[in-house]
Amino acid sequence: MSSRVARYARLSADEFRARLPEALSIYVTAMRYPEGTAEQRAPMWLTHALREGWRCVAAFDADDVLLGLAYGYKGRAGQWWHEQVRHGLTRRSGTAEADRWLTDYFELTEIHVRPENQGKQIGEDLLRRLLDDVPSAHVLLSTPEGTSRAWKLYRRLGFADVLRDYHFAGDPRPFAILGRALPLDPA
């Protein structure tokens, strides 16, 4: 099934909750995670929707099928991802570098597009719509190391290396932490 985007929409927390099974299905497929991952992630995603500055943008086809989504929120000390990245960045680059990136940032937590719809500008459109008017100084994200469409998108949009070959607790794969100043350059 390969569909064209009929509309993009910013989702409220309630709309996000209603679409959660569909969104998690895209996530598991796009990230090639094993079955059962969606059930593990659902509570976390619902908790994320309660965080300060949370926002979500989704792409839909003409039949209102979710083609992709992106969400994030204002990163803060005490959040799991923040503490993981602070630890790694402080160890490798020092406290000043960690403070530079982690003082005022928006965490691009998730961005996923159905695999059959990748390479059609949807990811970039979602990312741009999500970050439009974010009041933070920076945006940060983590992505598995290795060449992918996501990597190409992030590089094309000016994301730079913040921390490479980092291993999050509980995941054996190496990740890159990428970041850039906001706002994004015009399309």
Catalytic residues: 154
CA neighbours closer than 13 Å in the CB half-sphere of residue 114: 17
d(CA 187, CA 29): 28
| Helix boundaries (H) for the chain | 13-18, 20-31, 37-48, 80-93, 95-102, 122-131, 149-156
Instruction: Give every CB contact of residue 175 below 8 A, 6+ residues apart in sequence.
Output: 142, 143, 144, 145, 165, 166, 167, 168
Residue closest to 81 by CA, chosen among 171, 180, 154, 181: 171
